[in-house]
């Protein structure tokens, strides 16, 4: 969508927001860009990295009631390619003016989609690159596929101040072929994105192209299974979901949908209606950042790592979801409206999928004395989004259960990153997944920011470990064990790792609110499978992604502390984000606080992961602990079936 002219803006009537957290509309994005271009006299060589809602103060949001006036502001990040300079701006859409403008020195914004396309064209046109691939028998670059990787920061003097990517390449055998089957090994083009010039081409020596194709698309599959019968999900009366703008009501749950270019799916104002009152649980939940470190130290492979949110934008790369493929059942979709790098509007249709699904047994008991059986079916609300980052797909699924449980699940699929190896070589730092094709060992670390609000803003965090009672007068038979609770008073105390052998979890409580038993109400964060990084503490990736060294971080709420890696991780030397936020050791007892949970997935590739990986899963849960006075799902009605209801 083109940016409207000033006369068009004057004549336009913006669609009014219905809630302070509603994402910017297409008209608001276009207007914000036009205001900034005009009032700051921006030149043609300026790129808009971000145009998003400047979220109002938390106090404003919490006090908002339907019909109250809403002030709308846009937050913008721009990159001046000529000067190599980054600026932040705040635009008042109500006043039609720039209210804040500042230069952010020494940083690089995220890499933008058109930079990827322009980079590929620049690499293919480079005589040095053409000479390098010709040495490998490739005379036509039309079928060459170029993947620009963020350059990171390794202290190289000649790279300081330049906006760089490392472009790695692959060769397709046809326009729809899986190019990742044939990496052009040993050739990396270093590209300056500001000037869009190839700075140099590193050639580490010729390695033959792997011989086999790795195609997986339906057009290449010879014969499909014939024993699969249709499975249909039918809700003849529709779903139990009510949607009002971006607000969602499902049974007793209340929440709002948001979306940003960097974070992707955001869930706001999560609450549960308990006895007629909506009790807050989480004010804001989102992916904060993620990083994928690879474990091969050779050639330029040691520089393989990617901050898929902070360097590329997981929201920008969101898929348009398809009914019957990505989502099954009765679906409500939300579009994602964002900006392109010139300040225009980009809409990703069906970027967020909302539906409900059966989830087996909710609770059951059979009384053998009376012969009576009571059973209830579980149902959950699903809010999901899927993004493609180069070769990989990431699905982010938020589940809301009837009993007050919240679950986050990441679904990982797509194509493993590949490198070519000589015939007969067994790779040490990866797995041979096809002849002469190496898939590197790697990890995926996600950090989720959970702005907690358990029955209000004044919360505290405890660690709970189960310990054995020593043999003695209190435990003469040696069978005793108990849950030991430790309060975290400062953010330094709350930097923790998982311990599955002690059943460790972390509990957020509200000391000023008690349940019917006199206990403080709470929610616990329950880790799932997890891991720590294997990179050495001195490695660049550890410095730049310090968040992944701890599974739990806790900070007092600060509206400027949104990302675990800081606002500009691209080519940053390190130390930003959570290590910097927590260095002061601030108080986190009985205050407005934020949990940051790091989730690690460890991937030693298998031949079964090629040519496309089956979905792998990782995640965590938030479960009520004393938040309710009793089981909150006793009132779920029995399900009807052919022979009557599910109770007897």
Alpha carbons 340 and 224: distance in angstroms, whole number: 40
Specify whether 156 is located in the same domain as 246: no
pLDDT for the residue numbered 399: 98
**What does the pLDDT average to over 239-261?**
97
Alpha carbons 4 and 7: distance in angstroms, whole number: 8
Residue 605 sits in a domain of what CATH number? Answer: 2.70.98.20
Specify whether 165 is located in the same domain as 53: no
Handedness of CA 216, 222, 226, 227 (dihedral sign): negative
Q: Is the pLDDT of residue 642 over 80?
A: no
Tens digit of each residue's pLDDT (9 = 90 or more) over 337-379: 999 999 999 999 999 999 999 999 999 999 999 999 999 999 9
CA 465 to chain centre: 29
Specify whether 147 is located in the same domain as 287: no
Q: Say what percent of the chain tops pLDDT 70.
A: 96
DSSP state, residue 261: T
Alpha carbons 453 and 457: distance in angstroms, whole number: 5
Specify whether 362 is located in the same domain as 287: yes
Q: Is the pLDDT of residue 318 over 50?
A: yes
User: pLDDT averaged over the chain?
Assistant: 95
Q: Which of 185, 220, 255 is the last residue of a domain?
A: 220
Alpha carbons 321 and 335: distance in angstroms, whole number: 10
Within a domain: 467: yes
Q: Is the pLDDT of residue 6 over 70?
A: no
* CA-closest candidate to residue 266, choices 562, 517, 581: 562
pLDDT for the residue numbered 9: 33
Within a domain: 232: no
pLDDT for the residue numbered 421: 98
Q: Say what percent of the chain tops pLDDT 90.
A: 94
Specify whether 154 is located in the same domain as 204: yes
Beta strands across the sheet bearing 406-414: 332-339, 345-367, 372-389, 392-401, 406-414, 613-625, 520-527, 505-514, 460-468, 481-488
Instruction: Specify the range with the lowest mean pLDDT, choosing from 387-391, 482-486, 570-574, 641-645.
Output: 641-645
Q: Is the pLDDT of residue 383 over 60?
A: yes
Q: Is the pLDDT of residue 621 over 50?
A: yes
Specify whether 184 is located in the same domain as 250: no
Q: Which of 66, 86, 104 is the last residue of a domain?
A: 104
Residue 640: pLDDT band (50, 70, 90) is confident
Alpha carbons 259 and 23: distance in angstroms, whole number: 7
Within a domain: 342: yes
Residues 178 and 170: beta-carbon distance below 8 Å: no
Tens digit of each residue's pLDDT (9 = 90 or more) over 79-115: 999 999 999 999 999 999 999 999 999 999 999 999 9
To which residue do tokens 């009537």 refer? Answer: 13
Instruction: Specify the range with the lowest mean pLDDT, choosing from 325-329, 479-483, 637-641.
Output: 637-641
Kindly name the residue from 22, 289, 296, 308 that is annotated as catalytic: 308
Q: Greater confidence, 7 or 492? A: 492
Look up the domain containing 19 and give its range. 6-104
pLDDT for the residue numbered 646: 66
pLDDT for the residue numbered 4: 35
Q: Which of 84, 104, 124 is the last residue of a domain?
A: 104
Q: Is the pLDDT of residue 249 over 50?
A: yes
Within a domain: 234: no
Tens digit of each residue's pLDDT (9 = 90 or more) over 255-304: 999 999 999 999 999 999 999 999 999 999 999 999 999 999 999 899 99
Specify whether 94 is located in the same domain as 138: no
Within a domain: 231: no
Specify whether 140 is located in the same domain as 25: no
Within a domain: 233: no
Kindly name the residue from 272, 392, 401, 597 that is annotated as catalytic: 392
pTM, 2 dp: 0.96
Within a domain: 1: no
Residues 596 and 562: beta-carbon distance below 8 Å: no
Cis preceding-peptide flag for 519 (omega within 30 of 0): no
Residues 382 and 357: beta-carbon distance below 8 Å: yes
Tens digit of each residue's pLDDT (9 = 90 or more) over 142-168: 999 999 999 999 999 999 999 999 999
Tens digit of each residue's pLDDT (9 = 90 or more) over 423-457: 999 999 999 999 999 999 999 999 999 999 999 99
Q: Please report, to the nearest 10 degrees, the dihedral formed by the alpha carbons of residues 228, 233, 236, 242 taken in order.
A: -160
Q: What is the DSSP string of 60-74?
A: HHHH--TT-----EE
**What does the pLDDT average to over 628-641?**
92
Specify whether 253 is located in the same domain as 186: no
Residue 156 sits in a domain of what CATH number? Answer: 3.10.450.40
**What does the pLDDT average to over 505-525?**
98
Tens digit of each residue's pLDDT (9 = 90 or more) over 548-606: 999 999 999 999 999 999 999 999 999 999 999 999 999 999 999 999 999 999 999 99
Residue 607 φ then ψ, to 5°: -55, -30
Q: Is the pLDDT of residue 647 over 70?
A: no
Residue 17: pLDDT band (50, 70, 90) is confident
pLDDT for the residue numbered 282: 98
Is 308 a catalytic site residue?
yes
DSSP state, residue 162: -
Q: Is the pLDDT of residue 52 over 60?
A: yes
Q: Is the pLDDT of residue 493 over 70?
A: yes
Specify whether 149 is located in the same domain as 292: no
Within a domain: 16: yes
Q: In the chain, how many domains are there?
A: 3
Specify whether 205 is located in the same domain as 252: no
Is 68 a catalytic site residue?
no
pLDDT for the residue numbered 545: 98
Specify whether 17 is located in the same domain as 132: no
């Amino acid at each position: 969508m083109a940016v409207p002219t000033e006369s068009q803006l004057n004549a336009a009537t913006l669609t009014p927001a219905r809630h302070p957290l509603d994402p910017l509309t297409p008209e608001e994005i276009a207007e914000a860009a036009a205001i900034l271009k005009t009032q700051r006299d921006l030149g043609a060589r300026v790129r808009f990295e971000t145009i998003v809602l400047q979220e109002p103060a938390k106090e404003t949001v919490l006090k908002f009631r339907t019909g109250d006036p809403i002030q709308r502001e846009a937050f913008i990040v721009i990159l001046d390619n000529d000067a190599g300079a980054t600026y932040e701006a705040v635009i008042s859409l109500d006043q039609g003016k720039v209210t804040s403008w500042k230069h952010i020195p020494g940083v690089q914004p995220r890499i933008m989609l058109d930079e990827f396309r322009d980079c590929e064209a620049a690499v293919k046109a480079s005589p040095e690159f053409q000479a390098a691939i010709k040495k490998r028998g490739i005379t036509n670059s039309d079928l060459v596929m170029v993947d620009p990787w963020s350059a990171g920061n390794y202290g190289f003097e000649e790279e300081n101040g330049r906006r760089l990517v490392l472009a790695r390449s692959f060769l397709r055998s046809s326009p729809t072929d899986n190019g990742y089957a044939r990496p052009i090994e040993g050739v990396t083009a270093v590209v300056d994105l500001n000037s869009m010039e190839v700075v140099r081409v590193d050639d580490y020596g010729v390695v033959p192209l792997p011989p086999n194709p790795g195609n997986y698309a339906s057009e290449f599959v010879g014969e499909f299974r014939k024993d699969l019968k249709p499975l249909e999900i039918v809700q003849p009366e529709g779903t139990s979901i009510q949607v009002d703008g971006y607000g969602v009501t499902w049974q007793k749950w209340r929440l709002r949908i948001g979306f940003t270019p960097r974070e992707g799916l955001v869930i706001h104002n999560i609450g549960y209606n308990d006895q007629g009152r909506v009790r807050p649980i989480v004010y804001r939940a989102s992916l904060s950042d993620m990083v994928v470190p690879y474990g091969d130290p050779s050639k330029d492979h040691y520089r393989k790592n990617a901050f898929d949110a902070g360097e590329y934008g997981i929201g920008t790369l969101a898929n348009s979801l398809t009914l019957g493929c990505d989502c099954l059942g009765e679906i409500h979709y939300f579009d994602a409206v964002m900006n392109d790098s010139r300040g225009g509007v980009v809409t990703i249709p069906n970027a967020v999928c909302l539906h409900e699904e059966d989830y087996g047994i909710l609770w059951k008991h059979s009384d053998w004395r009376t012969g009576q059986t009571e059973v209830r079916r579980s149902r959950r609300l699903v809010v999901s989004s899927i993004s493609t980052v180069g070769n990989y797909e990431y699905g982010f699924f938020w589940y809301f259960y009837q009993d007050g449980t919240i679950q986050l699940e990441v679904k990982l699929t797509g194509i493993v990153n590949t490198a070519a190896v000589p015939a007969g070589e067994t790779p040490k730092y990866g797995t041979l997944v096809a002849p002469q094709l190496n898939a590197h060992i790697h990890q995926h670390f996600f950090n989720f920011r959970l702005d907690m609000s358990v029955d209000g803003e004044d919360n505290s965090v405890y660690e709970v470990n189960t310990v054995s009672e020593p043999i003695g007068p209190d435990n003469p038979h040696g069978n005793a064990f108990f849950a030991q609770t430790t309060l975290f008073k400062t953010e330094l105390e709350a930097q923790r790792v998982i311990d599955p052998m002690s059943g460790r979890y972390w509990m957020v409580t509200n000391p000023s609110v008690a349940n019917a038993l006199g206990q403080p109400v709470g929610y616990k964060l329950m880790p799932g499978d997890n891991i720590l990084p294997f990179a050495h503490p001195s490695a660049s990736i550890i410095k730049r992604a310090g968040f992944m060294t701890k599974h739990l971080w806790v900070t007092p709420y600060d509206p400027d502390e949104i990302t675990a890696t800081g606002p500009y991780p691209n080519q940053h030397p390190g130390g930003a984000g959570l290590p910097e936020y927590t260095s002061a050791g601030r108080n986190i007892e009985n205050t407005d606080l934020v949990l940051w949970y790091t989730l690690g997935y460890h991937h030693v590739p298998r031949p079964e992961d090629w040519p496309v990986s089956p979905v792998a899963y990782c995640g965590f849960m938030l479960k009520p602990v004393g938040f309710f006075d009793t089981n909150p799902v006793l009132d779920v009605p029995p399900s009807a079936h052919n022979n009557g209801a599910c109770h007897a």
